[in-house]
Amino acid sequence: EGLIEFYSSFKEMFEFFCKNTTIHGTIRLVCSGRNRMKTAFWTLLLLASLAMLYWQFALMFSQFWAYPVVLTMSMDSEPKMFPAVTICNLDPSRFELVSEQLEQLERMAEESLSFLYGPKASARLSQLRDRNRDRDKDGAIRVQAWANLSSAGFRLSHNFSLVRMWDPRAGKKHSRVGFRLCNSTGGNCFFTSHPSGMDALLEWFRFHYMNVMAQLPPGLPQHQQHFQDLVYSCQYDGEPCRPSDHVHFHHPVFGSCYTFNSKGTDPFWAATKPGIPYGLSLILRAEQKEHLPLLSTVAGVKVMIHSHNQTPFLEHEGFHIRPGIATTIGIRQDQVNRLGGNYGRCTTDGADVAVELLYNNSYTLQ
């Protein structure tokens, strides 16, 4: 038998092809030779199938050579309300009601520094404390209606002090500094340590400071600082800012703060164009007065960009801007809409939630 076989006729070759091919229906062209009607039907059906196949090929090639657009993008420009911006001067004020406790706290900080690093380490802090005592206390808030808290029986605990923690496995050069927090009975203690002594001192000082500030009575008037003391120039979309565009509040750690466009209802703050010339432009006075040096360890201002009618959590979402440079901040808004219904329990104003909402903010259950 040869490698190549030639058929004696086209009919013989066609019959061999129809009997051995995998094309469905071609074998019926040969097997139904006795019934001409059936043969004609299957022939027409095969020709119609081939015609549809080539018609689909023609459509695909015509679509390919037409280079159609598979993605359409559109850009709509509509006015968006500019977000709220909060700035703080990083200069917390000294309340006269707790001046005695703050001086005691600074003396305890000096003792801790001397204990950890020697007497020379606390000399700078002692000079700052004496300077704050001798200067004219413009930053202190005086309230004549209340007596000093020294008569209330509140005292700072010396048991809550910094200690050096030695690690036997790491050696003396790799010690850590920390402190211990316990309840009034001495139980349920919490330990914290830091590899840096300065980080531990700042955390220790903040714990004590917040404990002191918690003793202030409610309704205490806030420190009134002039807007021009922090903001030298303010413009939005090329127009000067108005006195009604900002709201003042005092933060116990970050000092005097101002929130621009806090409510988000004034058409003046509608952003119609993107770009630096059409945004908020501020020239700020960054002064480090060191009223509380262990709280204001960073020079500059604290900035946070947030939603309207939202309490600014500056500790977690704010960032610092150092003085002497021009800083440009770009903003991109991402909006998330909760579906609710079968996808989760959503609330509009929190009235149907068993837990009281402390802040006007977005809450999620993790």
pLDDT tens digit string along 64-73? 888 877 777 7
Does some domain include residue 31?
yes
Q: Return the pLDDT at 140.
A: 45
Residue 139 pLDDT exceeds 60: no
- The string of pLDDT tens digits covering residues 277-322 is 899 999 998 876 656 667 767 788 999 999 888 888 888 889 999 8
Domain carrying residue 188: 96-213
Mean pLDDT of 214-239: 78
Please tell me whether residues 117 and 173 are part of one structural domain.
yes
Six-digit token string for 35: 């019934």
Please tell me whether residues 117 and 31 are part of one structural domain.
no
Percent above pLDDT 70 for the chain: 73
- The string of pLDDT tens digits covering residues 203-216 is 888 888 888 887 77
Please tell me whether residues 105 and 43 are part of one structural domain.
no
Region class of 172: left (phi > 0), else alpha (psi between -120 and 50), else beta: alpha
Q: Which of 33-42, 191-200, 324-333 has the highest mean pLDDT?
A: 324-333
Region class of 300: left (phi > 0), else alpha (psi between -120 and 50), else beta: left
- CA angle, 97 then 98 then 104, to 5°: 150
Please tell me whether residues 116 and 33 are part of one structural domain.
no
More confident residue, 136 or 321: 321
Q: Return the pLDDT at 138.
A: 46
Does some domain include residue 190?
yes
Residue 151 pLDDT exceeds 50: no
Q: Return the pLDDT at 41.
A: 80
Please tell me whether residues 132 and 197 are part of one structural domain.
yes
Of 213, 237, 269, the last residue of a domain is: 213
Residue 198 pLDDT exceeds 60: yes
Does some domain include residue 236?
no
CA 209 to chain centre: 26
Q: Which residues contact 163 (CB under 8 A, 6 or more apart)?
A: 177, 178, 179, 180
* Rounded Cα distance, 291 and 103, in Å: 11
Confidence of residue 181 (pLDDT cuts 50, 70, 90): confident
Does some domain include residue 308?
no
Confidence of residue 145 (pLDDT cuts 50, 70, 90): very low
More confident residue, 141 or 242: 242
Q: Return the pLDDT at 92.
A: 79
Please tell me whether residues 144 and 202 are part of one structural domain.
yes
Q: Which residues contact 92 (CB under 8 A, 6 or more apart)?
A: 251, 252, 253, 254, 255, 291, 292, 295, 296
Does some domain include residue 82?
no
Classify residue 282 as exposed, middle or buried by CB count within 10 Å of its CB (0-12, 13-18, 19+). buried
Q: Return the pLDDT at 122.
A: 61
- Of 176-180, 253-257, 349-353, the poorest mean pLDDT is in 349-353
Q: Which of 48-57, 118-127, 183-192, 279-288 has the highest mean pLDDT?
A: 48-57
More confident residue, 18 or 65: 65
Does some domain include residue 111?
yes
Please tell me whether residues 186 and 104 are part of one structural domain.
yes
Q: Return the pLDDT at 191.
A: 79
More confident residue, 98 or 243: 243
Of 166, 183, 213, the last residue of a domain is: 213
Of 213, 244, 259, the last residue of a domain is: 213
Average pLDDT, the chain: 76
Residue 271 pLDDT exceeds 80: yes
* Rounded Cα distance, 363 and 353, in Å: 11
Does some domain include residue 16?
yes
Please tell me whether residues 54 and 109 are part of one structural domain.
no
Please tell me whether residues 208 and 160 are part of one structural domain.
yes
* Rounded Cα distance, 224 and 230, in Å: 12
Please tell me whether residues 36 and 143 are part of one structural domain.
no
Instruction: Say how many domains are in the chain.
Output: 2
Please tell me whether residues 119 and 25 are part of one structural domain.
no
More confident residue, 136 or 4: 4
Confidence of residue 103 (pLDDT cuts 50, 70, 90): confident
Q: Return the pLDDT at 153.
A: 52
* Rounded Cα distance, 162 and 291, in Å: 23
Q: Return the pLDDT at 201.
A: 82
Task: Specify the pTM.
Answer: 0.63
* Rounded Cα distance, 30 and 17, in Å: 10
Residue keyed to tokens 């960073």: 298
- Of 19-23, 66-70, 357-361, the poorest mean pLDDT is in 357-361
Does some domain include residue 161?
yes
More confident residue, 30 or 257: 257
Please tell me whether residues 137 and 184 are part of one structural domain.
yes
